[in-house]
Chain A
């Protein structure tokens, strides 16, 4: 009987061998890198999100913005020309999860912070087609009508271990989801620009 016939007749052996087989690549490419410092870099200018920015990031997640917008500028000539400095590993230390995306239906947003005034974003979220008639982005005006929930955001800050003050949380109750999303837009990429 050949070796493989033995395996074919013995499920326990097959299970063990298959488990080991799938674990090898897993360990080398996923688990082992986790213990290397290069997977946990942090830029000097990078700060944890403020409560308002985190609330905005939560909304960015909730609305699935990352299905159409990436947040990584690749180190390619035309890409740097279009968006700015290419993305560095150290920019994302506080990003759980990463929101790099996999499809660029709209433009990359890694360097959007500070590119436009707040007012531009408010108007654009309400009606993207007013700025770009050919844009296919949905309208997000409803975010203006929705107040933030400070308690919830405080819980989120705690879960992530981000520093915050009582006043900061209290101030959230007068803010809308739109305010938060704009605050998040404006912080994207700023750690690099400051350097």
Chain B
């Protein structure tokens, strides 16, 4: 084999370092998630000034989107790119430097958010000095990914590489534009855009952060690791092509569905909603491809313990991408917008689709890199059931209480006056918020099984090699 001429060990070490970093930030983010979920029903757990809900929530979302999400994306994408290009990274040392800079950046991000330095733009909270670091990190990533692709030893670029390329480009455009700001001090700036325009730019960014951080790179993983772990080729290449181009085309039109019934001009809202409806099609392209891929030989597919991770993940992706468009309809939005329904939606995506796919990729990749087997499939199965139950309980309780909030806020007496005050409505949320914490604990236990399994696998590999 030609590729054996290469030594991958240095790059694989870099991949592992990214994975370990991502898992570390994942633990931090999840524990803070538990904490803020408790703050929702027990306000005494706010510790002013640094650990109030308003500051911790940003650490939770940034820690998981950027620490766990982007960290895993860096590592897993490098792995996929090397395999598909049949060569090591073009700049191994650059990638290694990127690991260290990444961890420094996330640590500083967490500290600055706790200190209250925030642009107040969801998923773009980090202040301008950190934005510059993020851009540098992304450039390092882009240089290595594109450079490796340009010097690849396999003429054809597999589907995953298309998604990776789209991710590299789109995130750069999105991040730079939405973070344009007027600096007013070392840790303070004001959005370059004002009012309605500020809102429009932010949610163009915000929705596409979902599209190009929580969707396209995760699809790249899905398209690579599903065939790898089942031994079955992707069902339809043509469907992959059509859904790829229509997905990356459509996503950029849909940001305004976050601004339904706000003062944003109606035509932008309507345009956003229409394209959001259409987004179901390319999203389901991937879902159908996934189902039919394992459908080719279910007997074979089901032998691998990872198949259920991937199939459940793509199922949640499928549900998510039907729920999302539904939410954008004016009539639905008027009920659930601003309520706990939305965190229910979000966590089906983040826990059920993103995290489940990422852990399955790590289960597959790590033993391959370490030249060993996974420590325990039984523990992996336990992990699976715990995170599944935790996530379902989280989403379902939030959907129920979300609809209740929406309905009670609209409820009127026969004389036309409002039936409930806000506080009366909040009081009704407590049992659901408490159940959400329970759901989070179950999810966390599942993730601890995962971490233990990974730890033992690494340990096993070490003792074997020494």
Report the Cα distance A131→B422, complex, angstroms: 13
Set of chain A residues within 8 Å of B424, measured between Cβ atoms: 134
The 9 residue pairs across chains A and B that have the minimum distance between CB atoms:
A64-B54, A25-B252, A92-B195, A159-B184, A97-B191, A138-B46, A62-B116, A25-B253, A89-B263
Shortest CB-to-CB span from B405 to chain A, Å, is 8
Task: Name the residue among A11, A30, A61 with the largest chain B CB count within 10 angstroms.
Answer: A30
Partner of A135, one of B149, B192, B200, B423: B423
Set of chain A residues within 8 Å of B296, measured between Cβ atoms: none
Set of chain B residues within 8 Å of A38, measured between Cβ atoms: 265
Report the Cα distance A21→B42, complex, angstroms: 47
Shortest CB-to-CB span from A184 to chain B, Å, is 13
Known: A26-B173, A134-B430. 17 other contacts (CB 8 A): A33-B265, A36-B265, A39-B200, A64-B57, A64-B116, A72-B263, A74-B262, A82-B409, A92-B195, A93-B194, A96-B182, A102-B342, A132-B423, A139-B48, A156-B185, A158-B184, A160-B182
Quick check: is B322 within 8 A (CB to CB) of the other chain?
A: no
Are B43's CB and A102's CB within 8 A?
Answer: no
Q: Is the interface on chain B under 10, 10 to 19, 20 to 34, or 35 or more residues?
A: 35 or more
Are A30's CB and B200's CB within 8 A?
Answer: yes
Quick check: is A87 within 8 A (CB to CB) of the other chain?
A: yes
Taking CB as reference atom, which chain B residue is nearest A87? B263
Quick check: is B339 within 8 A (CB to CB) of the other chain?
A: yes
Report the Cα distance A25→B174, complex, angstroms: 12
Set of chain A residues within 8 Å of B1, measured between Cβ atoms: none
- The contact string, 1 if C-beta is below 8 Å from chain A, for chain B 446-459, is 00000000000000
Are A18's CB and B57's CB within 8 A?
Answer: no
- The contact string, 1 if C-beta is below 8 Å from chain A, for chain B 157-201, is 100001001100110010001000011110011111111111111
Report the Cα distance A99→B125, complex, angstroms: 13
Shortest CB-to-CB span from B414 to chain A, Å, is 14
Quick check: is B256 within 8 A (CB to CB) of the other chain?
A: yes
Report the Cα distance A103→B188, complex, angstroms: 24
Set of chain B residues within 8 Å of A129, measured between Cβ atoms: 43
Report the Cα distance A66→B199, complex, angstroms: 13
Are A29's CB and B199's CB within 8 A?
Answer: no
Interface residues of A (CB under 8 A from B): 4-5, 8-9, 11, 14-15, 18-19, 21-26, 28-30, 33-34, 36, 38-41, 58, 61-68, 70, 72, 74-76, 78-79, 81-82, 87-89, 91-107, 128-129, 132, 134-142, 152, 155-156, 158-160
Set of chain B residues within 8 Å of A88, measured between Cβ atoms: 263
Set of chain B residues within 8 Å of A5, measured between Cβ atoms: 156
Are B52's CB and A22's CB within 8 A?
Answer: no
Interface segment among B7-15, B129-137, B267-275, B383-391: the answer is: B267-275
Shortest CB-to-CB span from A45 to chain B, Å, is 15
Shortest CB-to-CB span from A87 to chain B, Å, is 5
Taking CB as reference atom, which chain A residue is nearest B155? A9
Interface residues of B (CB under 8 A from A): 39-43, 46, 48-49, 52-55, 57-58, 116-122, 146, 149-150, 155-157, 162, 165-166, 169-170, 173, 177, 182-185, 188-202, 204, 241, 245, 248-256, 258-259, 261-265, 268, 271-272, 275, 334, 337-339, 342-343, 405, 409-412, 416-418, 422-424, 426-427, 430
Set of chain B residues within 8 Å of A156, measured between Cβ atoms: 184-185, 188, 190
What are 28 A-B pairs with beta-carbon distances under 8 A?
A14-B162, A18-B170, A22-B249, A30-B252, A33-B268, A34-B201, A63-B116, A64-B52, A64-B57, A74-B262, A75-B261, A81-B417, A82-B409, A82-B418, A88-B263, A89-B264, A92-B199, A93-B194, A95-B194, A96-B190, A97-B198, A98-B198, A100-B259, A103-B339, A134-B426, A138-B52, A142-B49, A159-B190
Q: From DSSP, what is the main secondary structure of chain B's interface residues?
A: helix
Q: From DSSP, what is the main secondary structure of chain A's interface residues?
A: helix
Set of chain A residues within 8 Å of B118, measured between Cβ atoms: 61-62, 64
Report the Cα distance A36→B253, complex, angstroms: 18
Set of chain A residues within 8 Å of B157, measured between Cβ atoms: 8-9, 11, 14
Set of chain A residues within 8 Å of B255, measured between Cβ atoms: 29-30
Report the Cα distance A35→B191, complex, angstroms: 17
Set of chain B residues within 8 Å of A65, measured between Cβ atoms: 54
Report the Cα distance A25→B409, complex, angstroms: 35
Are A138's CB and B53's CB within 8 A?
Answer: yes
Report the Cα distance A25→B278, complex, angstroms: 13
Are A74's CB and B195's CB within 8 A?
Answer: no
Partner of B252, one of A24, A62, A64: A24
Task: Name the residue among B146, B249, B272 with the largest chain A CB count within 10 angstroms.
Answer: B249
Shortest CB-to-CB span from A185 to chain B, Å, is 15
Are A103's CB and B342's CB within 8 A?
Answer: yes
Shortest CB-to-CB span from A14 to chain B, Å, is 6
Are B119's CB and A29's CB within 8 A?
Answer: no
Are B334's CB and A76's CB within 8 A?
Answer: yes
Set of chain A residues within 8 Å of B55, measured between Cβ atoms: 63-64
